[in-house]
Amino acid sequence: MTNLAGVWRRIFALTADWAASLLVVRLLFPELTFGSDIYGVWTMGIFAAEVVLLTWLTGASFGQRILRLRVISYRSERLRLWQVLARTVMILLVIPAVVMDKDKRGLHDVLVGAGVIKI
């Protein structure tokens, strides 16, 4: 696939998504202690919801949009909901996202037939 996004750009997008999720949790639940288990659970839930909804509806998460990236399907331009859900679960599991193929695509993208490109 041409125009694939580099690893560092994708890492920065992921970091932006996680930071935004931390901020949302802080704003929604100011009484929670940062670093507590429940804070982590809420952060992961907000992160997953943001990534799934924005990737499915717009083709990019918040962080990807900032860094001018887009997730596309190899079969069509737009990912189906099941692809986005499966991809997000694998990102949360971490290992599939750090195991890469020769094109530096994470296993989470390879398994759902997707790729992250620069726009």
Question: What digits encode the pLDDT tens for the residues 17-70?
Answer: 999 999 999 999 999 999 899 999 999 999 999 999 999 999 999 999 999 999
Residue 28: closest CA among 17, 14, 39: 39
**Between these two residues, 103 and 66, which has the higher pLDDT value?**
66
Residue 68 identity (one-letter amino acid): R
C-alpha span between 67 and 4 (Å, rounded)? 13
In 1-119, where do the E strands start and end? 69-73, 114-118
Element containing residue 54 per DSSP (H, E):
helix 37-58
Q: How far is CA 28 from the centre of its chain?
A: 21
Scanning the structure block, which residue is given the tokens 């809420």? Answer: 42
Torsion-angle region of residue 3: left (phi > 0), alpha (psi -120 to 50) or beta? left
Number of Cβ atoms within 10 Å of the Cβ of 105: 20
- Residue 78 is predicted with a pLDDT of 83
Instruction: Kindly report the pTM of this predicted structure.
Output: 0.91
